[in-house]
Structures are given as structure tokens and as C-alpha cells.
Structure 1
Amino acid sequence: MQQLVTSDFKLGIIAGGQLGKMLALAASNWDVKTYVLDNDPQCPASSCTTGYVKGSLNSYDDVYNFGKSVDMITFEIESVNVDALIRLKQEGVKIYPDPEALRIIQDKGLQKQFFATHDIPTSDFNLYESKESILAAIEKGTIAFPFVQKLRTGGYDGRGVVVVKSANDLTKLLEGPSVIEDLVDIEREVSVIAARNLSGQVNCFPLVEMEFNETANLVELLICPSTVSDAIAQKAEEIAIKLIDAFGLCGLLAVEMFIDKQGNVWVNEVAPRPHNSGHHTIESMVTSQYEQLLRAIFNFPLGSTRQKLPAVMINLLGEPGHEGPVKYEGLPESLAIDGVKVHLYGKTKTMPYRKMGHVTIIAPTIEQAKENAEKVKQLLKVKSWKSQ
């Protein structure tokens, strides 16, 4: 595979959001030509790829035709037409991760069944076809409060998930085929990103700890190294390795997990791509998650995941009450703080809680990184020239 990177080689990236942008930037270090498929000509990746192709990720024809124009395909989002990918694979196009695994991961019901089949610790669950069937099960006593409803497909960045603590929350129920699972008594939320190449070599990035914005249900603060015990971190890593091997994935698998108040580790869900919980790896690790993905799909030796410095990552979210052309406040002041690394995704329009960028703060100690991160949170705001 080492001859794969040549002047004629074309790597296709399906979806051109911020993950696609950062992957394209990493690929440029190896002179890999990247082409992106996205419906938005101004998508973040469009400014740094070799070529842009306009098309819908869910269109069979658009995905298929794009795949025929490149030598290899990877993706930065799960919502892709899998039927087109499977046909492309049958016709010899290299696609990583494998579309058969993607089909399972796209459906949270199939994900949970996969966990159960492979003895992966996850909360108890049942599948329901509609809101009406959920209400009927509650009436019969089959479902007890509190519980979590997740739409089987279409959920993303916290959307498609509802926590139902009592009958007063039933008005929040979503319509559509759903997973109903027990609400875990969460002590903290963590993530491990595993990488696996075609030769079967597996390497994991150190476990990260996440704090969420309760309003947006998005990661607001990420900490690495985490404060969990070595024993729990090792257990989480073992689960991530078991999962990526069970899927037979070539590429990355981000495994989001809960640690309950008894110290048990539960898998929440997985993503077969670069992940928000791995942004800090660009500055804080010897190998970034984006370089690691390239190493995996080209079947190169996986890179070191040794941490160079403690890191905190914060997401830059659009401010409430602001929608329209974007402006950033407090950027020079934030950059004046030692160890602050700002990534702006290039989205031209902001809206409340939209991901507009992230900031990684590195420091000699995690305490100093957290202190500086708090300063950045107070200084750096994503607003609009035209506030509501």
C-alpha cells in the first residue's frame, strides 16, 4: 500500500464539514489529493481540497458517481447513501470504513443489537416503531421512568435524543422508530478513539473526559488526561479495541461511554470517523486523529498516541440570539494566552449553538489548561453582524 500515495491518487471525502476540512489539511502534508462531495459549495472543506463536487450525501446517484471519480473513499458523517457505497465496493472501489459496518452504525437499534451480540456493556434497551407504541408500553408498565428515547436514524449532535424523567416529559417524545433504553446514573462521560489499519494493528488514543452543554446537548469541554482511574481507563480502552475488532473496521472508531456512580463502564454509541472528542490530538498528541485515519486506510504503521502536553478543548458554539453573517469577538485577547490554539471552521453563517470552531488549550498541567480554557470561554464569542 505504500505506493498508494502518488501524484495521480485521489482520496474522496464524503461530506465537507469541519472534520473533512481537518482531514484534507492533514492529507496535504503527504501531498494526497483530496476531493470532497457536499451539497454546499461553501462548506468548510471546500477551501482546502483539491476538488469540490456538489451533490447530496443521501443521493444514490451522487454518491455513486462521486465514488467512480476517485481511488478511495472515506467519510466524515454517518448519514451517507450506503447502497451506493456497497455497489462501489462490489465494483472494486476502496471504501474505509466498510459500508457494511456503516449500515449497522447508522441505525442506533442495530448498534445496540450489535453490542448485545458481542457482549459489549450497554444499558438495557428495547426497540419501538412509533411514539404511540412507546406510550402504549408505558401504559402497560413495560417501560418505566426514567428512560432515554433515541431515534434509530437521523440523530446527530444531540438531536434525536430525549431524556424522559417522568410523565411530565412525555410531550417531548419524538415520532419515529426508536431505541428506548434505561437511564444510566452517570458519574461522567468519556470517549476513546481507536484506530485499526488493514493489517489489523490497533492503537487507541488516551481516554478523554467530556462535559456537555445541557441546552445544546453538545460537548462543551474536553479534558485529557482525564481524572478517571487507570483501571477504568484501561477497561474503556479494552472495550474500544474489542468493538473495532468486532466491526472489522479499517479507520477510526470513536466510542462514547458512560461511567456510572459504581464505576461501571457502559457504551453509549459509536462513530466510525474522526470525532469531536479527538480535536485536541492535533496539538497535544504525537499523531493527530486525522493523520491516524490516513495511516489506517493506507495501511501504514499506526502512529504514536503519546500525549505531549495536557490539553483542554472547548467547542465554539454560536451565541443564543445570534443568527446570520458571523463575527468573532475576543479572538486577539484569546490568542494572547499561552498555549491557545484556535480553529475556525469557516462557516459563513452562525446560529444558536451551531459548531463554529474549537479551541485547544495546552499547558504543563491540566489545572493550568483548565484555568486558561475558562478565560477563553469568557473572552471568545461567536456572534452575528445581524443579531435577532
Structure 2
Amino acid sequence: MGIIAGGQLGKMLIQEASRWDIVTYVLDPDEACSARNVASFYVKGDFRDFDAVYAFGKQVDILTFELEDVNIPALQKLKAEGLNIAPDPDVLALIQDKGLQKAFYAKHHLPSSDFALYESSDAIKEAITKGVLDYPFVQKLRKGGYDGRGVALINGSDKVLLEGASVVETKVAIDKEIAVIVARNSADEVRCFPAVEMTFDEQTNLVEEIFCPANLTTEQATKAQSLAIEIIRALDMVGLLAVEFFIDKEGQILINEVAPRPHNSGHHTIDSMLTSQHKQLLRAILGLPLGTTEVLKKSVMLNLLGEVGHEGAVYYEGFEACMAIEGVKIHLYGKKETRPSRKMGHVTILSDSLEHAQHKANIVKNTLKVKSWKK
């Protein structure tokens, strides 16, 4: 099995694959990538480069990904030559482009916020001047944005627009943000994980906490899962799809965006579910029956981010104290160097009560810090 990109998601997928004696290859330009030390074979190369991706694909029997920003023409050539690629390159091409994503939702009558497409920041300014576009709105670059990058809330003329082809969306009055991960295999079997609720850091726009299960009505939880299934089937996608939703102040569920791979919102499944998101992905792409998504424990997941003012060789302040707390599971990604807001690991806190898990999570947040060694 080949995995394009060797970050923490690739590492966790490889760790799961090793349980089934699957030989794993990973392609990444960074020789210190998280997945290198757990993969059977590491190949240095740029996943945006045609030759690197094509040559890598010729070495493996099945190919999957931990990110979307991959050279599509190389994948299409490999597919034409018979390589099993999951998800399909056509799905990746659509999801790479947020404009195509929004058009897909509209075509299939899937609920999402109103939008318009603009080729440049000048075109957006012109629309504002002509009264076609009003503040506030959300600008998203069509390609390349992730982890809060490439997204800007524009609520007045003093805000700097992003440069590049963009999707401009009506600002939603958000009550909460949730995510549902759904898997589908080649037999059209689908399984959803329970919806999770996400909170975000206002400065970095990165996920701060994940709560499972989300605080939803039965109707909302069922609707979110139904929409996730509808999307993955409309895409005719085999693999794992993470669907992020807004719930607005009126209780309406709107699709924000999707990711065709393991996702930050599914980290907790390693510890809190009978089947993790990574094991489910393997089952899906290998044509195996999908696993149960039974919840073993309620959970809170925290991202471990590099502290502001710390850059260099990493250490984890408060690690031992947090390891003494029952139900605390610390996952480190093998990154040797920290910098502000870099994802260095995550912590899942388990309990029979979500309130109890949140109490422990608050202790962990105040205790476990990602810092650099002081010289």
C-alpha cells in the first residue's frame, strides 16, 4: 500500500496497517516526516510533482492519501494503467477546488451557504463597488487552503482580501460546528461515525477541542449522518470522507466542506471507538466489510499545538502529570522541532460522562504544554 504524504495522519494509518502485515510505502519530501519511522519503505519526493507521484505509484498495489494536494494528472495516468487508487483521482480533483465543491453541492441539491466565484481580489472589490456583494462575507481560496489557511472573514473595507481565485460565501450565523466521518466500500456498504462537535481557536482558526458525541437533537444527528451518506454516494467514492457542517442559529444544517481522508475530527476514534477511522479506511479501500462504529467511551480530544514564543527542539511540559490522570491518552507525532501553532500531537480524554471528560480536559489544557528547550 502506498500512502501519499507522511504526516501524522499517514503515520496513524500505517500503524493500523501494520496490524495486518500490510507492506507500506510513504512518499513525502521531508526526510523527517512523521510516518517515515513506521513505514516499511520511505520514498523522498514531492507529491505535487508528476514524475515523483507516477514513479511512486508504479511501486505499489494500492494507493491512498493523507491530503488532497496531490498531482492529479499523475494519478489519472496510473489509474488508466490499472492501479487501484482510493479515493478516485476524479474525486480528489473535485475536492481540491472549493469552487467545484460548492457547485457539486448545488447540483445535487445539498444544503450549503450561498456563494459566488471570483477570479481575483480585484473582481471581489469591483463586486463590492457595484453593490453586487455586501459585507460581511467569507472568502476562501479555491485551492491550497487547509488548517485555517486560505480563509478570511471580510467584514469591512479595512480587511485585506486574499489573492487568488476564490469562493465568496454568505456569512452564516453559526451556532455550532460539527463533523461526521463516513466510510464506503466498493460494495456500497456505508457506515457513519457519530457526529462530533468542534471548537476552534479564534487566532489560528485551528480545531481546539472535539467532543463526542456532539450535543445535538436526535433529528439533527440523524440529518447530519444522512447528508454525509448522500455526499459520499453522490461522489461514488470509496474510502473515508470527513464532512464538516455548520448549524446556524435557526437549527439548519449546512455543509461547510469535505475531506476525502482521515481527519482531525476523527482522532478520538483510535481510543473511543471499536473501529478507528484508520481501520475503517483500510477496510473500505481493501474491499472488506466495514467495522462497527460503536462508541466505547465518551471523549474530548485536544490538539497539542506548539506554544507561542517557542521554536526549536521540543519538550512536553507536564507530560508525566497528565499520564497520571485516568482516561488520558497522549499521542505524539514524532516531530522533533516545534514552532507556534504547529500540530505536535493530540490528547484524547475518555470517560463515561462527557462532563467528566471535559473536566479532565481542562486540567490537561492547563498542564500539558508544547515548548522548546531553553538554551
Uncovered stretches (5+) of structure 1, i.e. residues with no partner: 1-10
> Which residue in the other structure is 1:13 paired with?
3
Counterpart in 2 of 1:381?
A: 369
Q: 1:31 aligns with which of 12, 21, 29?
A: 21
Give the corresponding residue for 1:56. Answer: 46
Alignment coverage as a number of residue pairs: 375
Q: Pick the aligned partner of 2:64 from 46, 71, 74.
A: 74
| Corresponding position of 2:311 | 323
SS in 2 for 1:56: coil
Quote the offset at 1:167 in angstroms. Answer: 2.0
Q: Match of 2:291?
A: 303
Secondary structure at the aligned position of 1:29 is classed as helix
Distance of 1:167 and 1:212 partners within structure 2: 25
Of the three residues 284, 300, 304, the one matched with 1:312 is: 300
Structure 2: distance between partners of 1:384 and 1:248? 45
1:317-376 superposed Cα distances (whole Å, 9 cap, x missing partner): 010111111111000001111100000001111111111100000011000000000100
Distance 2:347 2:190 in 1: 28
Shift of 1:276: 0.2
CA contact (8 A) 1:147 1:183 kept: yes
- With the length of structure 2 as denominator, give the TM-score of the two structures: 0.99
Question: Does residue 328 of structure 2 align to residue 332 of structure 1?
Answer: no
1:338, 1:12 → 2: CA distance?
37
Report the Cα distance in structure 2 between the residues aligned to 1:269 and 1:185, rounded to whole angstroms: 17
> For residues 320 and 54 of structure 2, what CA distance do their matches in structure 1 show?
44
What is the one-letter code of the residue matched to 1:218?
L
User: Is the contact between residue 312 and residue 370 of structure 1 (CA under 8 Å) also seen in structure 2?
Assistant: yes
Give deviations 1:239-293, integer Å, cap 9, x for gaps. Answer: 1000000001100000000000100000000000000000000010010000000
Q: Distance in 2 between matches of 1:57 and 1:322?
A: 29
Q: Runs (4+) of structure 1 moved beyond 4 Å?
A: none
Q: CA deviation at 1:168?
A: 2.5
CA drift of 1:237 comes to: 0.6
Measured after TM superposition, the shift of residue 386 of structure 1 is 4.7
Residue 259 (structure 1) aligns with: 247
2:92 corresponds in structure 1 to 102
- 1:282, 1:373 → 2: CA distance? 17
Instruction: Map 1:101-120 onto structure 2 (within 5 A).
Output: 101-120=91-110
Aligned to 1:241: 229
Q: Is 1:41 aligned to 2:68, yes or no?
A: no
Q: Distance in 1 between matches of 2:10 and 2:182?
A: 18
State how 1:335-354 maps to structure 2 within 5 Å: 335-354=323-342
Query: Secondary structure of the equivalent of 2:52?
Result: helix
Percent identity, aligned pairs only, is 58
- Aligned equivalent of 1:5: none
**Corresponding residue number in structure 1 for 2:149:** 159
Mapping for residues 173-192 of structure 1, pairs under 5 Å: 173-192=161-180
Partner SS, residue 69 of structure 2: coil
1:359 aligns with 2:344: no
SS of equivalent residue, structure 1 residue 320? coil
Q: Which residue is equivalent to 1:141?
A: 131
Identify unmatched segments of 5+ residues in structure 2.
none
Aligned counterpart for 1:211 among listed residues 199, 203, 219? 199
CA displacement, residues 205-258 of structure 1 (integer Å, 9 cap, x when unaligned): 000000001111011000001111110011111110000000011000000000
| Mapped contact 1:323–1:386 kept (Cα < 8 A) | no
